[in-house]
Amino acid sequence: MKHYFNPMSRAITTDWMLNELDAPHEQITIDFASNENNTAEFRKINPMGKLPALVDGDTVVTEVSAICAYLADKFPEKNLAPEVGSVERAAYYRYLFFACNTIEPAFALAACGLEHPDPVSAGWGDMPRVLATIEDMTPETDWALGEQFTAADVVFGGLLDFSITFKWLEPSPKVAAYVARIRQRPAYRATHSAFDAA
């Protein structure tokens, strides 16, 4: 597998996922400063010109949540995804999609001081609803799905962590405690040193 990566990008999350799985891969660092993400060669992999991207043989996966879900399913013996058809699997999907469909756009807009003029039509609604849902979905103890740590924690917990670091989110005590647990994971620590130093 080839992982297209830059340490100062969202590829830090997929790097963490690869590390949680101890998945053999080739790390290909893409330099934004020299526009390597916009070469014709890279655009063939991801027409968005964005990181991360994963190439597994003939399979191309882009988008943080999709890559993490793909990897969790590729290594079922590592137990980073609940069984297909289980009650937990439904919750798992909810964490993966809530992170990228709702938290990401809501926080990205808010970070620029913008609000969507029509929160009823905007899929992510408005900030009070997003924050209330984050609070509701954040586990009091352990992980998103209970005792089993999964890709849902990498994606949802990773995004909360990123949002706190970039001051997009002022965490409640429950969110702060969950992110503190996330930050203690060896695979997180092994993959976030450059990011933390920034």
Ligand X SMILES: N[C@@H](CCC(=O)N[C@@H](CS)C(=O)NCC(=O)O)C(=O)O
Given phi > 0 = left and psi -120 to 50 = alpha, else beta, which region is 142? left
- Whether the CA torsion 152, 155, 156, 160 is positive or negative: it is positive
CA distance 72 to 74: 6
Mark the segment that binds ligand X (CB under 6 A) among 21-29, 48-56, 78-86, 161-169: 48-56
Amino acid code (one letter) for 172 = S
Mark the segment that binds ligand X (CB under 6 A) among 47-55, 72-80, 142-150, 179-187: 47-55
Amino acid code (one letter) for 81 = A
Q: CB nearer to ligand X: give 94 or 174.
A: 94
Does an H or E element contain 20, and which? helix 11-21
Counting Cβ atoms within 10 Å, is residue 125 exposed (0-12), middle (13-18) or buried (19+)? Answer: middle
Binds ligand X (CB under 6 A): choice among 4, 5, 10, 134 = 10
How many residues form the binding site for ligand X (CB under 6 A)?
Answer: 10
Task: Give the shortest CB-52-to-ligand X separation in angstroms.
Answer: 6
Task: Give the shortest CB-183-to-ligand X separation in angstroms.
Answer: 19
87-98 vs 127-137: helix crossing angle, rounded to 10: 140
Task: Give the shortest CB-13-to-ligand X separation in angstroms.
Answer: 8
Q: Is 185 in the site for ligand X (CB under 6 A)?
A: no
Q: Is 138 in the site for ligand X (CB under 6 A)?
A: no
Task: Give the shortest CB-81-to-ligand X separation in angstroms.
Answer: 18
Q: Is 191 in the site for ligand X (CB under 6 A)?
A: no
Site for ligand X in 60-79 (CB under 6 A): 63-64
Q: Is 102 in the site for ligand X (CB under 6 A)?
A: no
β-bridge pairing 26-29 and 2-5:
parallel
Residues in the chain: 198
Site for ligand X in 14-43 (CB under 6 A): 37
Q: Is 50 in the site for ligand X (CB under 6 A)?
A: yes
Q: Is 3 in the site for ligand X (CB under 6 A)?
A: no
Given phi > 0 = left and psi -120 to 50 = alpha, else beta, which region is 160? alpha
Q: CB nearer to ligand X: give 1 or 176.
A: 1
